[in-house]
Amino acid sequence: MRLSERLLAEIPGFRGYKEKEIRRESDKLIRNHLYLKLAQARSDYKMVFQKMADNRQLDVFSDMDRLSAKFDRAAERISHASYGYSGFFDAIKIQEDALDRMTDFDNQLMDQITGIASEVSVFKGEVAKQSFDNVKDHVQNLTNLVDTLNDTLDKREEVMMGVS
């Protein structure tokens, strides 16, 4: 902390406020990183989708389209997720333990997004080699991974609202 922040930290109540703000800012940075990583995986997936369409691999087209929509939904949810702020007069207050649990969820999200990015990378590599034998398996695996990610995002929102 800067000198002015250290001085203000001595004021009763300010230290807790500042610690919450630091947690919120770090969560915001983490979520931005998660969003960028998922957005890159989504972009790679859309390139695979285009390549599949170009090669007339239409038997999984509707499944891939649904998965694309799920990717979009997850990315936007991460981008616009609450970062743990509640105003002074808000009915629902965000407690410190909820902020700590939010960090745990962000760690889970990182692992899940890394798994998604890895699966998309393998899928992209196979399609680039014109290998379409495992397309259905890749689409199903990615669907399961993105569904799990969305479930984790649901649970994160419940923690933020104090429901869970």
- Using DSSP, state whether 100 is helix, strand or coil: helix
pLDDT of residue 88: 40
* Cβ count near 42 (within 10 Å): 22
| Position 20 pLDDT exceeds 80 | no
* Cα angle: 38, vertex 149, 70; to 5 degrees: 70
User: Closest by alpha carbon to 34, among 92, 94, 117, 100?
Assistant: 117
- Using DSSP, state whether 3 is helix, strand or coil: helix
Instruction: Write out the two tokens for 147.
Output: 């569904």
Distance, in Å, from the CA atom of 42 to the CA atom of 45, rounded to the nearest integer, reads 5
Q: Which one is predicted more confidently, 129 or 12?
A: 129
pTM, rounded to two decimals: 0.76
- Using DSSP, state whether 57 is helix, strand or coil: coil
Q: Which one is predicted more confidently, 77 or 164?
A: 77
* Cβ count near 95 (within 10 Å): 14
Least confident range from 32-36, 46-50, 64-68, 158-162: namely: 158-162
Phi, psi of 55 (to 5 degrees): -95, 15
| Position 92 pLDDT exceeds 50 | no
Average pLDDT, the chain: 81
Please give the tally of structural domains in the chain. 1
Q: Which one is predicted more confidently, 82 or 102?
A: 102
pLDDT of residue 99: 62
Calculate mean pLDDT across residues 57-69. Answer: 89
Instruction: Answer for the pair 51, 128: CB distance below 8 angstroms, yes or no.
Output: yes
User: Closest by alpha carbon to 133, among 121, 117, 122?
Assistant: 122
Instruction: Write out the two tokens for 53.
Output: 């369409």
Note down the domain range covering 81.
3-161
